[in-house]
Amino acid sequence: MEIKNQIKEGKASIGIEFGSTRIKAILVGEDLTVAASGSYDWQNSLVDGVWTYSLDDIHKGLQTCFANLMADVKAKYDTELTTAASIGFSAMMHGYLAFDAEDNLLVPFRTWRNTMTEEAADVLSEAFGCNIPQRWSIAHLYQAILNKEDHIPKVSFFTTLAGYVHWLLTGEKNIGIGDASGMFPIDPGTGLYNERLLEKFGDLAKDTAFTQKLADILPAIVPVGECAGRLTEKGALLLDPTGTFGAGVPFCPAEGDAQTGMVATNSIAPRTGNVSAGTSIFAMVVLERDLSKLYRQIDIVTTPCGDPVAMVHCNNCTTDLDSWVKLFGELIRSCGCEISKGELYDKLYAAALEGDADCSDIISFNYHSGEHVTGFTSGRPMLMRSPGSAFNVANVMRSLIYSCMATLKIGMDILLDEEKIALDKIYAHGGLFKSPVTGQRFLASALGVPVTLMDSASEGGAWGIALLAAYQARADRSETLADYLADRVFAGKTGSSMNPDENDAAGFETYMKHYRAALAVEEAAVKTAE
């Protein structure tokens, strides 16, 4: 009855996150726990060599996900969801959504998964003196300039997926600082785009078809906790075509999935970090100091508060693993046995724990797409073994799970071993950790750092953006986000922690030795397939 009244009185907050395979909506009450949810499954498409989602897919996914949230509220509380205290949107960071002055999309949405901007990323990284990865929005823009694409003179605005949905519903062309930090470098002193580098970009773009001022076509940055706009009448009907949910609800700044993952794991303070593992895998390490030099494997983004974060982002994580699990499931069902998806994952993850610590020289590459950390612009999934390998389910599964973390470890070794960045613990969340123990244990041993799973880890970034929405609606405007999370959200919650296992750690190092050597085989496979 209490949460029902909060919903009716507009005291609950809503967070919606566009992930790579699922759009998820979460409603939280004043106690900030999940009260209702809705989701919609979707997949990117490879169209003319570009990984993309169509605008129709985005709109349909938004409406279906929200309709499912409304239905869940109705089923649980016998009341209609008609308003909220605040709403927030989050999505996969980076990418390129470019529009002309009439708000027409100029080219299909180019997602973070594309590896088509190598030349631009190299030029910008050298010119800026900081790493600009291929997936960053500015790399996509500059590559289009270098390619002399026809749409460049028409670009009036470009943004991220979260920024686009926020704009659709509020009419406001702005985003949060964390999402902005994956578009263009941020000046930590001002909390705005780096003015010196904006000017540098202007110099690079001279004598090209790009005559716009970059600052004029980037989304504005709204600080965390501030109102970033309100749901318009048009936006309300787009969100809920039935007209049940009304206009006027305030929005928190749109954020990237990396930042909402940090919020969902309470890892926004120095000496903390988090790993998000799903279709991609990335680590976010909050820095106490600048890195000593530029590393192309590491980019600097920010927390939702604007503090510098070292990000190790790898394009590939569970896609290949999921394919193998599906294959095992088909075999089991062909034998006349029925097994649920969750049970199948649990059994196979449990089998991995019984495998040899080094996977008995079975090496897996999960490269469905390119992987910039190891220098691949495209990839081919591959499983290889020596003739003497103990080829069994336990070792195959262990190798498949190791491969989800292998590229991440290469980047994290730079931070932990070369830069000597201090980390007290890593918080983990995402699909790789849904089955208990296995992923957590292997990650701790791979990184040599304790790994903690919170009870809320399975809720992920959708809960994180719901928390940011609730923070925007707070009564105490002087309360910092760090205090809000510590005192109101995570007070008394410790989660379950797992320390590195000495035997697993030694086995993972052996695995990585073979993995690095076998990169030449992966390279040959890519070249042969071209």
What tens digit of pLDDT does each residue of 152-211 get?
999 999 999 999 999 999 999 999 999 999 999 999 999 999 999 999 999 999 999 999
Q: How confident is the model at residue 457 (pLDDT cuts 50, 70, 90)?
A: low
Identify whether 403 is part of a domain. Answer: yes
pLDDT at res. 392: 97
Instruction: Please give the model's pTM, rounded to 2 decimal places.
Output: 0.87
pLDDT at res. 293: 92
- Does residue 429 or residue 201 have the better pLDDT? 201
Measure the CA–CA gap between 51 and 317, rounded to whole angstroms.
16
Going from the C-alpha of 255 to that of each of 70, 150, 259, 351, the distances in angstroms are 23, 30, 6, 37
pLDDT at res. 458: 61
Identify whether 473 is part of a domain. Answer: no
**Which range is least confidently modeled, 138-152, 192-206, 436-450?**
436-450
pLDDT at res. 221: 98
Going from the C-alpha of 95 to that of each of 92, 217, 292, 305, 328, the distances in angstroms are 8, 15, 28, 22, 34
CATH code where residue 436 lies: 3.30.420.40
Q: What is the overall mean pLDDT for the chain?
A: 94
Provide the residue range defining the domain that includes 282: 267-361+372-453
Identify whether 232 is part of a domain. Answer: no
Q: How do the residues of the chain divide into helix, strand and coil, expressed in percent and rounded to 5? A: 40, 20, 40
Which tokens in the block code for residue 106?
A: 């100029």
Q: How confident is the model at residue 529 (pLDDT cuts 50, 70, 90)?
A: confident
**Which range is least confidently modeled, 96-110, 207-221, 486-500?**
486-500
Total domains in the chain come to 1
pLDDT in tens, 20-71: 889 999 999 999 999 999 999 999 998 998 999 999 999 999 999 999 999 9
CA 407-410-413 angle, 5° bins: 145
Identify whether 322 is part of a domain. Answer: yes
Identify whether 315 is part of a domain. Answer: yes
pLDDT at res. 456: 65
- Residue among 126, 140, 157 nearest 51 (CA): 140
- Residue among 419, 458, 114 nearest 276 (CA): 458
> Taking the C-alpha atoms of 454, 457, 458 and 462 in order, what is their torsion angle to the nearest 10 degrees?
140
pLDDT at res. 491: 86
Identify whether 252 is part of a domain. Answer: no
Identify whether 319 is part of a domain. Answer: yes
pLDDT at res. 493: 81
Measure the CA–CA gap between 292 and 272, rounded to whole angstroms.
19
Identify whether 495 is part of a domain. Answer: no
- Does residue 251 or residue 426 have the better pLDDT? 251
% of the chain with per-residue pLDDT over 90: 83
Which tokens in the block code for residue 334?
A: 């062909």
